[in-house]
């Protein structure tokens, strides 16, 4: 599963002096070559910027795009070297991209570089390293956005990737642990893949519904702290994992213990667990 599907483009290019080829020209040529599926030529243009204009504003995007092309070409070791340069750089994670309002408006250079290094190591079957860089993308270089939908999608994508790697490492319980926090739909992103994956991982485990009902009966309110301040969420403990029930503004006045218990039992997650008993 690749975490980055498009090349980074800036909102505007540098002014080009008459008769002189500038980094913006090479960048545009690279983009055009990429669109024509001439990946070798696109890569050469991006690398020309990287090697000759390290202080130019286009350098971070050219470096990212060069790494991405190496990834597409399955040159995983070369891609790792390129993306590592991003992790060691000083580029602005909040560089504007001009994306759709429902996506992240920021470049997130280091976040995506760590994700794609993880992808490379996964393809090389070096799963410990894949896990290490995924964790870096999740902690040291966290995803940045101003949109709740983008954050929700990233949380689901990251949980699924953790689960995939842990299963390759022969640690299915760790995979379950990473998926469980995303089982209740936030209303901001589709979590059906989380439910489907858990259904496979939980198959064969006993007394799941009984344990889940007991956990819901013991739901509790807990205060959490974030950069935006303190907030409260109702939580349950199930299979050793604390699971928060998401808060939704449209039902804020109804966010109480009795309703949360009902919503939990009406969820697709609860239905999946209940059907597994049959």
136-148, pLDDT tens digit by residue? 999 999 999 988 8
Nearest to 82 by CA among 96, 97, 62: 62
Q: Which domains does the chain have, with CATH numbers?
A: 1-146 (1.25.40.10)
Is 27:186 a contact under the CB 8 Å cutoff?
A: no
What percentage of the chain reaches a pLDDT higher than 70?
88
Query: What pairing do the DSSP bridges indicate for beta strands 241-244 and 220-226?
Result: unpaired
The whole-angstrom separation of Cα 261 and Cα 224 is: 20
pLDDT of res. 91 = 87
Helix (H, G, I), strand (E, B) or coil at 141: coil
Nearest to 246 by CA among 226, 269, 263: 263
When pLDDT is cut at 50, 70 and 90, the band that residue 11 belongs to is very low
The whole-angstrom separation of Cα 236 and Cα 213 is: 10
pLDDT of res. 146 = 86
Q: Is the pLDDT of residue 13 over 50?
A: no
Two structure tokens written together for 124: 């090389």
Q: Is the pLDDT of residue 14 over 90?
A: no
Q: Is the pLDDT of residue 100 over 70?
A: no
Is 13:27 a contact under the CB 8 Å cutoff?
A: yes
The distance in angstroms from the start CA to the end CA of the chain is 33
Among left, alpha and beta (phi > 0; psi -120 to 50; other), residue 153 is alpha
Helix (H) or strand (E) holding 202: helix 192-202
Is 53:79 a contact under the CB 8 Å cutoff?
A: no
Is 63:85 a contact under the CB 8 Å cutoff?
A: yes
When pLDDT is cut at 50, 70 and 90, the band that residue 99 belongs to is low
pLDDT of res. 278 = 60
Is 149:188 a contact under the CB 8 Å cutoff?
A: yes
Each residue's pLDDT tens digit, 153-170? 999 999 999 999 999 999
Two structure tokens written together for 20: 């002189």
How many Å is the Cα radius of gyration of the chain? Answer: 22
pLDDT of res. 250 = 60
Write down the residue that tokens 């050469």 correspond to. 44
> Distance of CA 13 to CAs 24, 39, 42, 43, Å?
6, 22, 17, 19
Give the chain's length. Answer: 278
């Amino acid at each position: 599963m690749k975490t980055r599907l498009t090349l980074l483009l800036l909102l505007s290019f540098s002014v080009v002096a008459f008769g002189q080829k500038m980094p913006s020209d090479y960048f545009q040529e690279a983009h055009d070559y990429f669109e024509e599926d001439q990946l070798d030529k696109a890569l050469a243009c991006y690398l020309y910027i990287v090697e000759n204009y390290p202080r130019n504003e286009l350098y971070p995007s050219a470096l990212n795009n060069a790494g991405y092309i190496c990834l597409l070409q399955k040159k995983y070791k070369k891609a790792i070297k390129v993306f590592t340069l991003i992790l060691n750089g000083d580029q602005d994670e909040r560089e504007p991209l001009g994306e759709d309002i429902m996506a992240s408006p920021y470049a997130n250079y280091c976040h995506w570089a760590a994700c794609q290094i993880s992808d490379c190591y996964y393809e090389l079957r070096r799963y410990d390293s894949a896990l290490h860089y995924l964790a870096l993308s999740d902690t040291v270089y966290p995803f940045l956005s101003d949109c709740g939908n983008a954050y929700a999608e990233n949380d689901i994508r990251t949980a699924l990737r953790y689960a995939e790697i842990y299963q390759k490492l022969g640690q299915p319980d760790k995979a379950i642990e990473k998926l469980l926090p995303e089982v209740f739909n936030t209303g901001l992103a589709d979590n059906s893949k989380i439910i489907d994956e858990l259904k496979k991982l939980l198959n064969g485990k006993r007394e799941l519904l009984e344990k889940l009902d007991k956990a819901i009966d013991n739901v509790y309110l807990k205060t959490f702290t974030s950069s935006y301040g303190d907030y409260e969420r109702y939580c349950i403990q199930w299979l050793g994992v604390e699971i928060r029930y998401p808060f939704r503004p449209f039902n804020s006045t109804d966010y109480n213990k009795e309703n949360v218990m009902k919503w939990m039992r009406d969820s697709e997650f609860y239905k999946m667990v209940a059907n597994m008993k049959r």
